[in-house]
Structure 1
Amino acid sequence: MEPCRSLALFAGSLGLTSSLIALTTDFWIVATGPHFSAHSGLWPTSQETQVAGYIHVTQSFCILAVLWGLVSVSFLILSCIPALSAPGRGPLVSTVMAFSAALSILVAMAVYTSMRWSQTPFSQVQTFFSWSFYLGWVSFILFLFAGCLSLGAHCRTRRAEYETL
Protein backbone atom coordinates (compact mmCIF):
# COMPACT_ATOMS: atom_id res chain seq x y z
CA MET A 1 0.00 0.00 0.00
CA GLU A 2 1.19 3.50 -0.76
CA PRO A 3 2.59 5.59 2.10
CA CYS A 4 0.36 8.60 1.33
CA ARG A 5 -2.78 6.48 1.48
CA SER A 6 -1.70 4.82 4.73
CA LEU A 7 -0.82 8.13 6.34
CA ALA A 8 -4.06 9.68 5.08
CA LEU A 9 -6.01 6.81 6.60
CA PHE A 10 -4.14 7.25 9.88
CA ALA A 11 -4.63 11.04 9.96
CA GLY A 12 -8.29 10.72 8.97
CA SER A 13 -8.93 8.12 11.65
CA LEU A 14 -7.24 10.30 14.28
CA GLY A 15 -9.21 13.33 13.09
CA LEU A 16 -12.46 11.41 13.24
CA THR A 17 -11.68 10.08 16.71
CA SER A 18 -10.61 13.45 18.07
CA SER A 19 -13.65 15.25 16.66
CA LEU A 20 -15.97 12.59 18.12
CA ILE A 21 -14.32 12.93 21.52
CA ALA A 22 -14.44 16.72 21.36
CA LEU A 23 -18.10 16.64 20.35
CA THR A 24 -19.23 14.32 23.12
CA THR A 25 -17.22 15.51 26.13
CA ASP A 26 -18.11 18.34 28.50
CA PHE A 27 -14.77 20.07 28.90
CA TRP A 28 -14.95 22.86 26.34
CA ILE A 29 -14.85 25.61 28.93
CA VAL A 30 -13.87 25.58 32.59
CA ALA A 31 -14.90 28.24 35.10
CA THR A 32 -13.13 28.64 38.42
CA GLY A 33 -14.23 30.91 41.23
CA PRO A 34 -13.15 31.52 44.80
CA HIS A 35 -14.84 28.37 46.14
CA PHE A 36 -15.95 26.35 43.11
CA SER A 37 -14.99 24.95 39.76
CA ALA A 38 -17.33 24.01 36.90
CA HIS A 39 -17.02 22.83 33.33
CA SER A 40 -19.37 22.70 30.37
CA GLY A 41 -19.50 21.43 26.83
CA LEU A 42 -21.79 21.58 23.84
CA TRP A 43 -24.62 19.53 25.33
CA PRO A 44 -26.39 21.15 28.31
CA THR A 45 -27.47 18.75 31.04
CA SER A 46 -30.54 20.57 32.37
CA GLN A 47 -33.76 20.70 30.36
CA GLU A 48 -34.88 24.20 31.33
CA THR A 49 -31.64 25.87 30.22
CA GLN A 50 -31.99 28.03 27.12
CA VAL A 51 -29.17 27.13 24.73
CA ALA A 52 -27.51 29.97 22.85
CA GLY A 53 -27.61 30.02 19.06
CA TYR A 54 -23.86 29.73 18.64
CA ILE A 55 -23.94 26.44 20.56
CA HIS A 56 -26.43 25.04 18.03
CA VAL A 57 -24.23 26.22 15.16
CA THR A 58 -21.18 24.61 16.76
CA GLN A 59 -23.06 21.36 17.37
CA SER A 60 -24.34 21.25 13.79
CA PHE A 61 -21.01 21.88 12.14
CA CYS A 62 -19.21 19.45 14.45
CA ILE A 63 -21.72 16.74 13.54
CA LEU A 64 -21.23 17.55 9.85
CA ALA A 65 -17.47 17.29 10.30
CA VAL A 66 -17.83 13.88 11.93
CA LEU A 67 -20.05 12.67 9.09
CA TRP A 68 -17.69 13.98 6.39
CA GLY A 69 -14.75 12.45 8.24
CA LEU A 70 -16.51 9.10 8.43
CA VAL A 71 -17.17 9.15 4.68
CA SER A 72 -13.56 10.14 4.03
CA VAL A 73 -12.14 7.32 6.14
CA SER A 74 -14.61 4.84 4.63
CA PHE A 75 -13.55 5.69 1.08
CA LEU A 76 -9.90 5.41 2.05
CA ILE A 77 -10.53 1.97 3.51
CA LEU A 78 -12.42 0.95 0.39
CA SER A 79 -9.63 2.25 -1.83
CA CYS A 80 -7.24 -0.15 -0.10
CA ILE A 81 -9.36 -3.09 -1.27
CA PRO A 82 -9.09 -3.23 -5.07
CA ALA A 83 -12.20 -5.37 -5.57
CA LEU A 84 -14.43 -2.84 -3.78
CA SER A 85 -13.23 0.45 -5.21
CA ALA A 86 -13.31 2.19 -8.54
CA PRO A 87 -9.75 2.61 -9.81
CA GLY A 88 -8.30 5.88 -8.56
CA ARG A 89 -11.58 7.36 -7.33
CA GLY A 90 -11.39 6.44 -3.62
CA PRO A 91 -8.60 8.85 -2.72
CA LEU A 92 -10.24 11.65 -4.72
CA VAL A 93 -13.57 11.29 -2.89
CA SER A 94 -11.67 10.98 0.37
CA THR A 95 -9.81 14.21 -0.40
CA VAL A 96 -13.03 16.15 -0.97
CA MET A 97 -14.65 14.71 2.15
CA ALA A 98 -11.60 15.35 4.35
CA PHE A 99 -11.42 18.97 3.22
CA SER A 100 -15.18 19.28 3.81
CA ALA A 101 -14.71 17.91 7.32
CA ALA A 102 -11.86 20.37 7.92
CA LEU A 103 -13.98 23.27 6.69
CA SER A 104 -16.94 22.22 8.85
CA ILE A 105 -14.88 21.87 12.01
CA LEU A 106 -13.16 25.18 11.22
CA VAL A 107 -16.52 26.96 11.05
CA ALA A 108 -17.66 25.28 14.28
CA MET A 109 -14.49 26.17 16.17
CA ALA A 110 -14.34 29.72 14.81
CA VAL A 111 -17.95 30.43 15.80
CA TYR A 112 -17.47 28.99 19.28
CA THR A 113 -14.17 30.79 19.83
CA SER A 114 -15.42 34.16 18.65
CA MET A 115 -18.60 34.00 20.71
CA ARG A 116 -16.82 32.90 23.88
CA TRP A 117 -14.19 35.62 23.54
CA SER A 118 -16.83 38.31 23.04
CA GLN A 119 -18.68 37.47 26.28
CA THR A 120 -18.09 39.78 29.20
CA PRO A 121 -16.26 38.07 32.06
CA PHE A 122 -17.44 38.07 35.66
CA SER A 123 -15.20 39.76 38.19
CA GLN A 124 -14.54 36.77 40.48
CA VAL A 125 -14.83 33.96 37.93
CA GLN A 126 -12.06 32.97 35.59
CA THR A 127 -13.06 31.06 32.47
CA PHE A 128 -10.70 29.34 30.08
CA PHE A 129 -10.86 26.82 27.28
CA SER A 130 -10.24 23.22 28.21
CA TRP A 131 -8.99 20.07 26.51
CA SER A 132 -12.16 19.23 24.53
CA PHE A 133 -11.99 22.62 22.87
CA TYR A 134 -8.35 22.14 21.92
CA LEU A 135 -9.10 18.64 20.66
CA GLY A 136 -11.56 20.23 18.22
CA TRP A 137 -8.76 22.38 16.81
CA VAL A 138 -6.47 19.35 16.61
CA SER A 139 -9.11 17.51 14.58
CA PHE A 140 -9.15 20.43 12.12
CA ILE A 141 -5.41 20.03 11.57
CA LEU A 142 -5.71 16.26 11.24
CA PHE A 143 -8.50 16.53 8.67
CA LEU A 144 -6.34 18.96 6.69
CA PHE A 145 -3.44 16.49 6.77
CA ALA A 146 -5.78 13.67 5.72
CA GLY A 147 -7.04 15.75 2.79
CA CYS A 148 -3.55 16.66 1.62
CA LEU A 149 -2.29 13.10 1.94
CA SER A 150 -5.35 11.72 0.14
CA LEU A 151 -4.70 14.18 -2.65
CA GLY A 152 -1.12 12.94 -2.79
CA ALA A 153 -2.38 9.36 -2.95
CA HIS A 154 -4.76 10.30 -5.75
CA CYS A 155 -2.03 12.01 -7.76
CA ARG A 156 0.28 8.99 -7.40
CA THR A 157 -2.36 6.47 -8.47
CA ARG A 158 -1.59 4.81 -11.79
CA ARG A 159 -4.40 5.26 -14.26
CA ALA A 160 -5.14 3.30 -17.37
CA GLU A 161 -4.09 5.27 -20.42
CA TYR A 162 -4.90 4.75 -24.06
CA GLU A 163 -1.47 3.31 -24.83
CA THR A 164 -1.70 0.70 -22.07
CA LEU A 165 -5.10 -0.59 -23.19
Structure 2
Amino acid sequence: MEPCRSLALLTGSLALTCVLVALGTDFWFVALGPTSSAHSGLWPNGDQHAVAGYIRVTQTFNILATLCGLVSLVLLVLSCVPSLSAPGQGPLVSSITAFVAALCMMVAMAVYTGERWSQPQEPQIQTFFSWSFYLGWVSIPLLLSAGGLSLVAHCHGPRPGYDTL
Protein backbone atom coordinates (compact mmCIF):
# COMPACT_ATOMS: atom_id res chain seq x y z
CA MET A 1 0.00 0.00 0.00
CA GLU A 2 2.00 2.94 -1.36
CA PRO A 3 0.00 5.86 0.10
CA CYS A 4 0.52 4.54 3.65
CA ARG A 5 4.21 4.04 3.06
CA SER A 6 4.53 7.55 1.60
CA LEU A 7 2.62 9.07 4.52
CA ALA A 8 4.76 7.06 6.93
CA LEU A 9 7.88 8.49 5.27
CA LEU A 10 6.48 12.01 5.53
CA THR A 11 5.43 11.76 9.18
CA GLY A 12 8.63 9.94 10.10
CA SER A 13 10.71 12.66 8.45
CA LEU A 14 8.75 15.38 10.26
CA ALA A 15 9.13 13.53 13.56
CA LEU A 16 12.87 13.06 13.12
CA THR A 17 13.23 16.74 12.23
CA CYS A 18 11.30 17.74 15.37
CA VAL A 19 13.42 15.45 17.55
CA LEU A 20 16.69 16.72 16.08
CA VAL A 21 15.72 20.38 16.39
CA ALA A 22 14.50 19.87 19.96
CA LEU A 23 17.68 18.00 20.84
CA GLY A 24 19.99 20.60 19.37
CA THR A 25 18.41 23.86 20.53
CA ASP A 26 18.57 25.64 23.87
CA PHE A 27 15.01 26.84 24.27
CA TRP A 28 13.51 24.15 26.47
CA PHE A 29 13.03 26.41 29.47
CA VAL A 30 12.88 30.21 29.70
CA ALA A 31 13.15 32.43 32.78
CA LEU A 32 12.13 36.08 32.73
CA GLY A 33 13.21 38.34 35.57
CA PRO A 34 12.70 42.02 36.27
CA THR A 35 15.96 43.03 34.56
CA SER A 36 17.04 40.06 32.45
CA SER A 37 16.03 36.80 30.83
CA ALA A 38 17.66 33.43 30.33
CA HIS A 39 16.96 30.20 28.49
CA SER A 40 18.30 26.68 28.85
CA GLY A 41 18.30 23.42 26.97
CA LEU A 42 19.68 19.93 27.31
CA TRP A 43 23.31 20.87 26.76
CA PRO A 44 24.46 23.27 29.49
CA ASN A 45 27.66 25.21 28.82
CA GLY A 46 29.04 25.06 32.36
CA ASP A 47 30.65 22.26 34.36
CA GLN A 48 29.56 18.91 32.90
CA HIS A 49 29.83 17.19 36.31
CA ALA A 50 27.19 19.51 37.76
CA VAL A 51 24.51 18.54 35.22
CA ALA A 52 21.38 17.25 36.95
CA GLY A 53 20.45 13.60 36.59
CA TYR A 54 17.12 14.31 34.91
CA ILE A 55 18.96 16.24 32.17
CA ARG A 56 21.20 13.22 31.55
CA VAL A 57 18.17 10.93 31.35
CA THR A 58 16.44 13.31 28.95
CA GLN A 59 19.57 13.55 26.80
CA THR A 60 19.98 9.77 26.68
CA PHE A 61 16.38 8.98 25.77
CA ASN A 62 16.32 11.80 23.23
CA ILE A 63 19.38 10.36 21.53
CA LEU A 64 17.85 6.87 21.58
CA ALA A 65 14.66 8.26 20.03
CA THR A 66 16.72 9.97 17.33
CA LEU A 67 18.60 6.77 16.49
CA CYS A 68 15.43 4.65 16.41
CA GLY A 69 13.66 7.26 14.27
CA LEU A 70 16.58 7.29 11.86
CA VAL A 71 16.60 3.47 11.62
CA SER A 72 12.85 3.54 11.01
CA LEU A 73 13.22 6.02 8.16
CA VAL A 74 16.10 4.14 6.56
CA LEU A 75 14.11 0.90 6.64
CA LEU A 76 11.10 2.63 5.10
CA VAL A 77 13.22 4.07 2.32
CA LEU A 78 14.80 0.67 1.71
CA SER A 79 11.36 -0.96 1.59
CA CYS A 80 10.52 1.29 -1.38
CA VAL A 81 13.36 -0.33 -3.34
CA PRO A 82 12.40 -4.00 -3.82
CA SER A 83 15.93 -5.21 -4.59
CA LEU A 84 17.29 -3.82 -1.28
CA SER A 85 14.66 -5.00 1.18
CA ALA A 86 13.42 -8.31 2.48
CA PRO A 87 10.01 -9.04 0.99
CA GLY A 88 7.39 -7.38 3.17
CA GLN A 89 9.55 -7.07 6.30
CA GLY A 90 10.84 -3.49 5.92
CA PRO A 91 7.60 -1.76 6.94
CA LEU A 92 7.13 -4.12 9.90
CA VAL A 93 10.58 -3.49 11.38
CA SER A 94 10.21 0.20 10.57
CA SER A 95 6.94 0.25 12.48
CA ILE A 96 8.50 -1.41 15.52
CA THR A 97 11.43 1.01 15.59
CA ALA A 98 9.10 4.01 15.19
CA PHE A 99 7.07 2.82 18.19
CA VAL A 100 10.30 2.33 20.19
CA ALA A 101 11.38 5.86 19.21
CA ALA A 102 8.02 7.23 20.39
CA LEU A 103 8.39 5.37 23.69
CA CYS A 104 11.93 6.71 24.23
CA MET A 105 10.79 10.24 23.44
CA MET A 106 7.84 9.88 25.79
CA VAL A 107 10.14 8.81 28.63
CA ALA A 108 12.50 11.74 27.93
CA MET A 109 9.70 14.28 27.84
CA ALA A 110 7.93 12.90 30.90
CA VAL A 111 11.12 12.96 32.98
CA TYR A 112 11.98 16.50 31.93
CA THR A 113 8.43 17.78 32.44
CA GLY A 114 8.06 16.13 35.84
CA GLU A 115 11.36 17.42 37.16
CA ARG A 116 10.98 20.97 35.84
CA TRP A 117 7.36 21.18 36.99
CA SER A 118 8.25 20.28 40.58
CA GLN A 119 11.11 22.78 40.96
CA PRO A 120 10.46 25.67 43.37
CA GLN A 121 9.40 29.00 41.88
CA GLU A 122 10.94 32.38 42.66
CA PRO A 123 8.37 35.16 43.13
CA GLN A 124 10.31 37.67 40.99
CA ILE A 125 11.08 35.24 38.13
CA GLN A 126 8.54 33.97 35.64
CA THR A 127 9.47 30.58 34.17
CA PHE A 128 7.87 28.62 31.37
CA PHE A 129 8.56 25.91 28.82
CA SER A 130 9.58 27.12 25.38
CA TRP A 131 9.37 26.00 21.76
CA SER A 132 12.13 23.33 21.82
CA PHE A 133 10.28 21.58 24.63
CA TYR A 134 7.03 21.63 22.65
CA LEU A 135 8.75 20.25 19.55
CA GLY A 136 9.77 17.26 21.66
CA TRP A 137 6.14 16.64 22.59
CA VAL A 138 4.97 17.12 18.98
CA SER A 139 7.40 14.45 17.80
CA ILE A 140 5.64 11.75 19.85
CA PRO A 141 2.32 11.69 17.93
CA LEU A 142 4.27 12.03 14.68
CA LEU A 143 6.38 8.97 15.55
CA LEU A 144 3.27 7.04 16.56
CA SER A 145 1.61 8.01 13.27
CA ALA A 146 4.66 6.90 11.30
CA GLY A 147 4.66 3.58 13.14
CA GLY A 148 0.94 3.05 12.59
CA LEU A 149 1.15 3.91 8.90
CA SER A 150 4.11 1.58 8.48
CA LEU A 151 2.14 -1.17 10.15
CA VAL A 152 -0.80 -0.59 7.81
CA ALA A 153 1.59 -0.66 4.84
CA HIS A 154 2.97 -3.97 6.10
CA CYS A 155 -0.46 -5.52 6.68
CA HIS A 156 -1.79 -4.51 3.27
CA GLY A 157 1.42 -5.05 1.32
CA PRO A 158 2.12 -7.94 -1.05
CA ARG A 159 2.81 -11.30 0.51
CA PRO A 160 5.75 -13.36 -0.73
CA GLY A 161 4.73 -16.39 -2.69
CA TYR A 162 5.64 -18.44 -5.72
CA ASP A 163 4.73 -15.64 -8.09
CA THR A 164 7.27 -13.25 -6.54
CA LEU A 165 10.21 -15.68 -6.68
* TM bucket normalised to smaller: over 0.9
Q: CA deviation at 1:103?
A: 0.1
2:90 maps to amino acid: G
Q: What residue in structure 2 maps to residue 122 of structure 1? A: 122
Q: TM-score, normalised by structure 2?
A: 0.96
CA distance in 2 between partners of 1:117 and 1:40 (Å):
15
2-structure distance, mates of 1:48, 1:57: 14
* Map of 1:85 onto structure 2: 85
| CA apart distance, 1:162 | 6.6
Matches within 5 A, 1:92-107: 92-107=92-107
Q: Which whole-Å CA distance do the structure 2 matches of 1:159 and 1:81 have between them?
A: 16
Letter in 2 for 1:125: I
d(CA) in 2 for partners of 1:135, 1:95? 21
Shift of 1:119: 0.6
Between the aligned residues of both structures, percent identity stands at 67
Question: Is 1:146 aligned with 2:146?
Answer: yes
Corresponding residue SS for 2:136: helix
Deviation of 1:164 after TM superposition, in Å, equals 8.2
Structure 2: stretches of 5+ with no match in the other structure: none
- Mean CA deviation greater in 151-160 or 73-82: 151-160
Q: Which amino acid aligns with 1:40?
A: S
- Opposite residue 63 of structure 2, the aligned amino acid is I
- Over the aligned positions, Cα root-mean-square deviation in angstroms equals 1.6
SS at match of 1:132: helix
Deviations 1:96-147 (A, max 9, x none): 0000000000000000000011111011001000000000001111100000
2:82 and 2:164 map into 1 onto residues whose CA distance is 19
The aligned residue for residue 7 of structure 2 is 7
Q: CA deviation at 1:150?
A: 0.3
Task: Report the alpha carbon displacement of residue 47 of structure 1 after superposing the two structures with TM.
Answer: 2.6
Q: Deviations over 1:7-59 (max 9, x none)?
A: 00010111111100000100000000101111000000123671110000000
- Return closer, same or farther for 1:103/1:156 CA change in 2, 3 Å cut-off: same
Q: Following superposition, which runs of at least 4 residues in structure 1 exceed 6 angstroms of deviation?
A: 162-165
Given residue 58 of structure 2, which amino acid in structure 1 is its aligned partner?
A: T
| Distance of 2:10 and 2:142 partners within structure 1 | 9
CA contact (8 A) 2:88 2:160 kept: no
- Counterpart code for 1:35: T
The aligned counterpart of 1:62 is: 62
Find the counterpart in structure 2 of residue 28 from structure 1: 28
Aligned residues: 165
Q: Residues 97, 159 of structure 1: CA spacing in aligned structure 2 closer, same or farther, 3 A cutoff?
A: same
